[in-house]
Amino acid sequence: MVTNLSSATTCILHLGAHKTGTSLIQKFLRDRPEAVDQLGAAFISRSDTNQLIGWGAVPRQDPGLLKDATNAVAAGVDFVIVSHENSLGRPLIPGKSGLYPEADRAIEGIRNAVELPAKVIYYIRAQADFVESYYLQTVHQGSYASFRDWVATIDLDDLSWEPLVSSLDSRFGSENVVIADFAFIEAGQNAFIERFLDLIKPGHGIIPDYSAKRNLSISQLGLDIALAINPLLESADERRTTRKFLQRHFNNSRSPRPELLNPEQKSALQDRYGDENRNLIRPTVEVA
């Protein structure tokens, strides 16, 4: 396939991490094509990126897929946006150390598969919140391991974001890598989206007014129920409907949040990684 690439077109690679508002960004870009137009961008849908990237191995095995897909929509736009939180593999893998232990190979594959000039946007999250949130995701996906058993498989002293950021820097060049802070979500959903758009194109003029509800997190009661009934579920559809049911009727908006990491563990993680996380974040870098 021969494509006349515009040197002015940049591929925005929004690669994660999990549990950092990636679904919100993806849904906004999907539901608001006028905003994508105003940004001068083309958005490759999240369902397409499942095929193009998967859990990070596809670009390495078949780089043409991602290359062709990004090149195909590059004409006439300033940005091609790819947003896929599974790009760098799974965050925690039993028996392997660190966050995203397979990220380095995945980053190499993506780098080689994207022909356009590329910029990476990557959100990081405080380790304690990340571990708890990811645990709840594993439960939504069908796991029924208690938090105590699950966290026992994780080395809490080996959860630095630094190796992953270094890998991104080495493949893409640090000037092309934005590390953003998920904590900005506290400013609100629309502010969070606006901030993401800022990172692509400062002064874009888009004022998001996006009312799609984020999935509520389950309460302690919801977690207890999920752990009790997950062993009985037999299909992905059943797990999906169970997750929706629990998020709707057993969420933490009125009931206590799950008690996962204890205060001492949280404090230890903050002491260990707090400063490092702050130093990794590059809020002033402009992508465009």
Residues lying near other proteins in the complex (CB under 8 A): 221, 224-225, 228-229, 232, 234, 238, 241, 245, 249-250
Shortest distance, CB of residue 212 to other proteins, whole angstroms?
23
Q: Which is nearer to other proteins, 144 or 210 (CB)?
A: 144
Contacts for 98 with CB less than 8 Å, ≥ 6 apart: 158, 159, 160, 163
Shortest distance, CB of residue 222 to other proteins, whole angstroms?
9
Shortest distance, CB of residue 255 to other proteins, whole angstroms?
9
Q: Which is nearer to other proteins, 210 or 245 (CB)?
A: 245
Q: Which is nearer to other proteins, 224 or 275 (CB)?
A: 224
Map tokens 């001492």 to a residue: 264
Shortest distance, CB of residue 288 to other proteins, whole angstroms?
47
Bridge partners, 12 (sequence order): 81, 119
Shortest distance, CB of residue 240 to other proteins, whole angstroms?
10
Q: Which is nearer to other proteins, 105 or 239 (CB)?
A: 239
Q: Which is nearer to other proteins, 73 or 221 (CB)?
A: 221
Euclidean distance between CA atoms 223 and 14, whole angstroms: 30
88 DSSP 8-state letter: T
In a 3-state reduction of DSSP, which class is residue 101?
coil
Q: Measuring CA to CA, which residue among 141, 139, 182, 175 is closest to residue 161? A: 182
Euclidean distance between CA atoms 143 and 137, whole angstroms: 9
CA angle 206, 198, 181 (to 5 degrees): 130
